[in-house]
Structure 1
Amino acid sequence: MEIAENAALVVVDVQKGFEESRFWGPRNNPGADENIASLIDVWQRTGRPVVFVRHDSVSERSPLRPGQQGNDLKDYVRERRGKGAGRELLVAKTVNSAFYGTPDLDAWLKEAGISQIVLTGIQTNLCVETTARMGGNLGYDVVVAYDATHTFDLAGPFGWRRTADELGQASAVSLHGDGFARVVLTKEVVDAAR
């Protein structure tokens, strides 16, 4: 695997509100935070650009809404902001895709001549997947560090319910199998980025 010298790491919605298990329910991949931190560290150490994305929910019930502690980035992410030698951006959004946030992520990437993005964060099947699909549609070389993402169990129509593991795997298969992104493990990305 090749990671470009200017590949942007896009850290999607790693916010305190996702720690409220009573709101979200059971989650998968308890090692995601450690993997997210390792990706940020290698990006900062190598001077590559890092994009931090924050979901500013418009739902009054959501722990991610502005003005609530849950809207804040998790401590380990907040503490790493501004520590790298590369460019950095904070994107705030109210929908799933980081490409529909402020400031304009696509414009920022194009201005910097960045054609490869590596995605990590929360939730695998929602904001990470939507950002990956849109990135692929916009022509970026998209890499998803699967074990540096996580999601939660979810109920759907017809009484269907899927576990976080099932949802994460379905996202990985759809993204990778349909060519929107290469879905890989954190170790592969870290080794290639060093």
Structure 2
Amino acid sequence: MDYILQPWPWYVAGPMMAIIMFTLVYFGKTFGMSSNLRTLCTIAGAGKKTKFFDFDWKAQRWNLTVVLGAVIGGFIAHFLLSVPTDIDLNPVTVESLSQYGFENIGKSLLPAELYSWDAVLSLKGLSILIIGGFLVGFGTRYAGGCTSGHAITGLSNLQLPSLIAVIGFFLGGLIMIHLVFPLIFG
């Protein structure tokens, strides 16, 4: 039974992703979460307030299977396939996180200092969610897509704007973890 709870090896997961991407490209579709969320906002009536959301969402119905799959897949991964295990982190990372007040480092993929209800519903947690959500939404719209859309669909189609966007995502992540994160948790 333990073999079922192990991550899929690259030689299974990689070709499966390639088959999905080939199928999407063949049918003229693109993959990305921001387009799925745009479809959900349109269904909820956002098109009455903003022109960006005023489009025929029924033509994008297939996008909703991606959202449903992400929710179901996340549930299955967390509740059925997760195995409690220690994460072997670099000692420098452990020391750095300890200085920011993190406890039980490497014992969970989702540290309670960030993901517990107490942390999320605090003033600091709500501020991070609201400001971060705004920045992600703005960045997604400005970049013409999200990280998954650019990194998976755009790069597999050899699109230069997607390469530039992915480089920007990585630079933004480095700036966040090395400059902003210490300000928030320091």
Name the TM-score class by shorter chain.
under 0.3
Select the structure that is richer in helix: 2
Q: Which has the higher contact order (CA 8 A, sep 6+)?
A: 1
TM-score (norm: length of structure 1): 0.26
TM-score normalised over the length of structure 2? 0.27
The structure carrying a bigger strand percent of its residues is 1
